[in-house]
Amino acid sequence: MSSITSNGDILPEKLILFFNFRILPFFEKITLLCVKIEKSKIFKYFMIIILLINSICLSFYSDIEITNPIFYRLEILFLFFYFIQSSIKQITYGIFIEEKSYLNNFWNILELLELLIGILCQISPFHTIKYICWFRGLRPFLLIKEIPKLEIIFSCLISSFKEMINVFVLLLFIFLAYSVLAVNIWGGIFYRRCRINPIPKNGKFEIEKNNINLCGGLYKCNNCYSIFDFSNNNNTFFLTYDKYNELHIPELNYGYSTFDNFFKAFLTIYNCMTLNGWSKIMYNVQNGYSYSGGSIFFISMVILLNYIVLNFSITILMDNFEKKLIQDEKKKKEYLSY
């Protein structure tokens, strides 16, 4: 028996057997036992329960050092089970030479790193080294490899990343286009509140606090004045807005959803993409500018961002999910025949 490496070198039989723990005769029985345990559903479900309990216990660790004696003993017990699991897999599949070896699998490498980190956290006397104990928080991710369907979904997300970049670029261009358009058309529109006086006094235009509507578009002021009317009369006074108090109301999202500059516009477009209060922003724009202009802008944006681009993303994910299912079926057949 021999094997060919990726470099084309032929490995001798004894070397392969050494890294597969089968160079001594009595290891054959141990290997057969480990294979039965590894393929056992009882052992698999047992390790899932251990990982779940360990994940819950991790949320109670208040420091990088486990000071609670109960959790300390449980951590030792968890590490013991992880060590047994890792040893069984290494004996079953070998270490790294063959194609299905232990270290040729990403999840096994993560599992081994978590085991080594856990042991180091328990025995290291150096406090600075113990900061790597924060990586114990990655242990819940090991549940992904224990649940096949969850592993398929995770693999699907990773494999779809390259194709999703094109969708993200398209999404970015739409964001940029709508943000630039909104800044040019509606920059400062959210200051179109009803004013008490017909002209500013001392460079300030006091608002009518009882009226929270923007005016100048669909909504018109009857008994008050607005910046819209003031600017239409070709007045060029320098106006100073009390930006915090004028916008710091729930109806205007406390000044976060405006088009005063590119960054705020970008954030507002993102907020509309999530469909969280987008209609309220549209109503404000309709009241302060134009009913038809606000409707066309926001409805077209929601359709583009939430239906067209989102459907592109779902199509890519579903296509990769089907491919992963087919690959998983092939791996199952190979696994059962191993």
Give the pLDDT of residue 72: 81
- Using the 3D structure, point to which of 146, 173, 188 is the last residue of a domain: 146
Domain-embedded: residue 101 = yes
d(CA 48, CA 56): 12
Domain match, 14 and 134 both:
yes
CATH number at residue 98: 1.20.120.350
Domain match, 246 and 133 both:
no
Q: Is 12 exposed, middle or buried (0-12, 13-18, 19+ CB in 10 A)?
A: exposed
Query: What range defines the domain where residue 108 resides?
Result: 3-146
Domain-embedded: residue 103 = yes
Are the C-beta atoms of residues 28 and 22 closer than 8 Å to each other?
yes
**Tokens representing 77?**
């017990």
Instruction: Give Cβ neighbours of residue 114 (< 8 Å, ≥ 6 apart).
Output: 82, 135, 136, 138, 139, 142
Domain match, 8 and 137 both:
yes
**Tokens representing 264?**
């705020």
Domain-embedded: residue 329 = no
Q: What is the DSSP string of 159-171?
A: HTHHHHHHHHHHH
Domain-embedded: residue 326 = no
Domain match, 174 and 293 both:
yes
Give the pLDDT of residue 203: 64
Q: How many domains is the chain partitioned into structurally?
A: 2
d(CA 320, CA 171): 20
Q: At what angle do helices 106-123 and 69-93 cross, to 10 degrees?
A: 140
Give the pLDDT of residue 8: 44
Give the pLDDT of residue 235: 45
Domain match, 234 and 97 both:
no
User: The pTM is what?
Assistant: 0.61
- Using the 3D structure, point to which of 94, 121, 146 is the last residue of a domain: 146
Domain-embedded: residue 209 = yes
Print burial letters for 239-277: b (CB count within 10 Å at least 16), e (below 16): eebeeeebbeeeebbebebbbbeeebbbebbebbbeeee
Domain match, 141 and 105 both:
yes
Domain match, 137 and 183 both:
no
Domain match, 169 and 141 both:
no
Q: Which residue has the tokens 């790193």?
A: 113
Does an H or E element contain 320, and which?
helix 309-336
Q: At what angle do helices 161-186 and 262-273 cross, to 10 degrees?
A: 120
Domain-embedded: residue 331 = no
Q: What is the pLDDT along the chain (338 residues), one digit of tens a residue?
A: 444 444 444 444 444 444 555 544 556 777 788 888 888 889 989 999 999 998 888 877 655 556 677 888 888 899 999 999 998 888 888 777 667 788 888 888 888 888 888 888 888 766 666 677 778 888 888 888 878 777 778 878 887 887 888 888 888 898 999 999 999 988 888 877 777 776 667 666 777 777 777 877 788 776 666 655 555 544 444 455 566 667 777 877 787 888 888 998 999 998 888 888 888 899 988 888 888 888 999 999 998 888 888 788 888 888 888 887 777 777 666 655 55
* Single-letter amino acid code for the residue at 297: F
d(CA 295, CA 279): 10
Domain match, 13 and 56 both:
yes
Domain match, 251 and 284 both:
yes
Domain-embedded: residue 297 = yes
Domain-embedded: residue 330 = no
Domain match, 134 and 222 both:
no
DSSP state, residue 195: E
Domain match, 119 and 252 both:
no
d(CA 238, CA 256): 24
- Using the 3D structure, point to which of 146, 179, 213 is the last residue of a domain: 146
